[in-house]
Chains A and B, each alone.
Chain A
């Protein structure tokens, strides 16, 4: 019989690769390697009693207030958010030695206050600008001390730069206009 001598037909596996490829592509497309980015903040520890701001000299405090209509008040003067960075840098470093700006960078304190109705995006924009002001100052300090940008310094050098210009931010309990 001829049928006995014939080999059993092989299972055609050439489409296996295609099927596997399809699965692979499916997973590549559906899974997203998400990068978590954001502004990292260290909150102050909880204490029942409010800090007393009268101990600080007025010239060392940079008051920023964001009201319920998302308007910005910086040291009793209305300001646009895009101008905040420049203003904060000038306050912290005080290059011209003005009487009403901070005595030295390590005495400067940012006081941030907002309303409960303030938009989160606006708040974050303001916080971002303050952070940006410090980032730029750290970069400048790093260039002066080490002739390198801040990001290229090692941990100890970065700490040293940050100690010279510490980022001190004090967030007040928010107002509540709407009730």
Chain B
């Protein structure tokens, strides 16, 4: 007993770190809420091209994605470039329905401002891209974005 009492009485008390876990947890939750996890996995290989005149998309809520590239799993989907809509490999016939679903998801106000972002592998040919573009034009989804990274070097 006396031993303990002596210790408490003497010396400056240490800084209490009891609230530290709470602070850190708060930070943790903040990051968990703010950062969004990717909700779809890429079923096609994507190596995006780069360009010098790229612009940032200010409002990410307006964006929907179409992936175009060679399937990751060739046994299942073949080796030719394919279109990925949401979580499935699809043909170009699936695009009108996909656009309609995305429009419903965006809601009334943002529907007209929706941007369809084409994430296409740099190795694919224009045939499939043109098909996608034509389908989008047919359903009047005219705002598109060719997703590309920022090119830093000079053009060869």
Please list the residues of chain A having a beta carbon within 8 angstroms of any beta carbon in chain B.
5, 13-14, 16-17, 19-21, 23-24, 27-28, 31-33, 35-46, 81-82, 114-121, 123-125, 127-129, 131-132, 135, 173-174, 176
Contacts and interface: CB of A to CB of B under 8 A. Distances in A.
Contact of B155 (A16, A41, A82, A135): A82
Contacts of A132: 52-53
Contact of A46 (B31, B36, B122, B138): B138
A7 B90 CA distance: 67
Contacts of A38: 51, 54-55, 57, 117, 145-148
Given A20-B24, A39-B148, A132-B52, A174 B130 contact: yes
Interface of B: 1, 17-18, 20-21, 24-25, 27-28, 31-32, 35-37, 49, 51-57, 60, 63, 115, 117, 120-127, 129-130, 133-134, 136-138, 140, 142-150, 154-156
A23 B28 contact: yes
B155 A31 contact: no
A42 B155 contact: no
Contact of B21 (A17, A39, A127): A17
Contacts of A120: 49, 120-126, 129
Given A20-B21, A24-B31, A41 B144 contact: yes
Contacts of A36: 56-57, 60, 63, 117, 145, 147
24 contacts: A13-B21, A20-B25, A24-B24, A31-B36, A37-B148, A38-B54, A38-B147, A39-B148, A41-B145, A43-B142, A45-B137, A82-B155, A117-B125, A119-B122, A119-B125, A120-B120, A120-B122, A123-B129, A124-B148, A131-B53, A173-B130, A174-B126, A174-B127, A174-B130
A27 B36 CA distance: 11
Contacts of A81: 155-156
A159 to B, nearest CB: 16
